[in-house]
Amino acid sequence: MRGWRWIVAGAGIVLFAAVLVPRVRTQGPNAPAKKRPPNALEVSRQFLTLHPQPRDEAERKIVAALEDMHVNQSRGMGNVWPEDGRVLRMLTETLGAKHVVEIGTANGYSALWFCLALRSTGGKLTTHEIDPQRIALAKANFKRAGVEPLLTLVEGDAHQTITRLEGPIDLVLLDAEKEGFTDYLSQLLPRVRSGGLIIAHDSSGQADQMHDYFQAIASNPDLETAFVDASRWGMCITRKMK
């Protein structure tokens, strides 16, 4: 009997070890790596179309232009991504924005996202660009998208041209040279209404070039900021509290 007890006990130890050891090994250096959870961009690309489904003929023209620009004109433009565009449109409509200001028109891609929203809010966009080739391209894109009545394209150095802007401004998008963001902020903030937004694009992808801007908004007690990564470039969204 004693011998049988040792056999049974030994079998129990072996069985326990057989169950335990694999569990321990899965935690060791040779364990398979845990699968990384998907980021917001990957989830968006899985479930959403790149561009919204148009609800009428006017939106169809804008969306058609957006789709063509995304495929054929994106290289070298530094445009927002479609996922960023969705956020811009949503924020503009949520604010009921009447006056949106954009610094850095490029070929007009982000401007068209704003125009999708401004059609419903009854607002207008003032967009600034210094590069003549980009200005010509943007004008052509605005014409084919049928959004010319919704915006004003200001040509020249925005550091100078924004001095002529009148408030109140509901939303600002900064998407130009990063070293100029702090100056744009200081000039435009007094014109932004209470509750208005200042959005800086590329806050993740080019964060190393935006430290002065980040410090400026972080040190102002009247500003509240959140960083949003709808795409891999990111947007820094700042709300003027009062």
Residue 9 vs residue 208, higher pLDDT: 208
- Confidence class for position 99, pLDDT limits 50, 70, 90: very high
Residue 58 vs residue 38, higher pLDDT: 58
Mean pLDDT value of segment 148-152? 98
The secondary structure of 60-116 as a DSSP string is HHHHHHHHHHHHHS-TTT-PPPHHHHHHHHHHHHHHT-SEEEEE--TTSHHHHHHHH
Per the rule left: phi > 0, alpha: psi between -120 and 50, beta: everything else, 159 is alpha
- pLDDT for 54 beyond 80: yes
Predicted confidence at residue 52, as pLDDT, reads: 85
Question: What is the radius of gyration, based on Cα positions, of the chain?
Answer: 26
- pLDDT for 189 beyond 90: yes
Predicted confidence at residue 163, as pLDDT, reads: 96
Cα 132 to Cα 60: distance, rounded to the nearest angstrom: 28
| Closest-CA residue to 117 (of 144, 104, 99, 135) | 99
Residue 235 vs residue 74, higher pLDDT: 235
Domain 40-240 of CATH type 3.20.10.10: no
- pLDDT for 231 beyond 90: no
Q: Take residue 124 and report the two structure tokens written for it.
A: 């207008």
Predicted confidence at residue 153, as pLDDT, reads: 99
- Confidence class for position 230, pLDDT limits 50, 70, 90: confident
Residues of the chain above pLDDT 90, percent: 68
Mean pLDDT of the chain: 87
Predicted confidence at residue 32, as pLDDT, reads: 67
Residue 205 vs residue 196, higher pLDDT: 196
Domain segments of the chain: what residues? Answer: 1-35, 40-240
This prediction's pTM: 0.82
- pLDDT for 80 beyond 60: yes
Predicted confidence at residue 18, as pLDDT, reads: 40
Cα 230 to Cα 96: distance, rounded to the nearest angstrom: 22
User: Do the Cβ atoms of 181 and 207 come closer than 8 Å?
Assistant: no
User: Do the Cβ atoms of 159 and 133 come closer than 8 Å?
Assistant: no
The amino acid that residue 99 corresponds to is H
Residue 40 vs residue 2, higher pLDDT: 40
Mean pLDDT value of segment 21-25? 43
Residue 20 vs residue 81, higher pLDDT: 81
Predicted confidence at residue 28, as pLDDT, reads: 58
Cα 112 to Cα 41: distance, rounded to the nearest angstrom: 21
Q: Take residue 191 and report the two structure tokens written for it.
A: 């014109």
Predicted confidence at residue 70, as pLDDT, reads: 94
pLDDT in tens, 107-134: 999 999 999 999 999 999 999 999 999 9
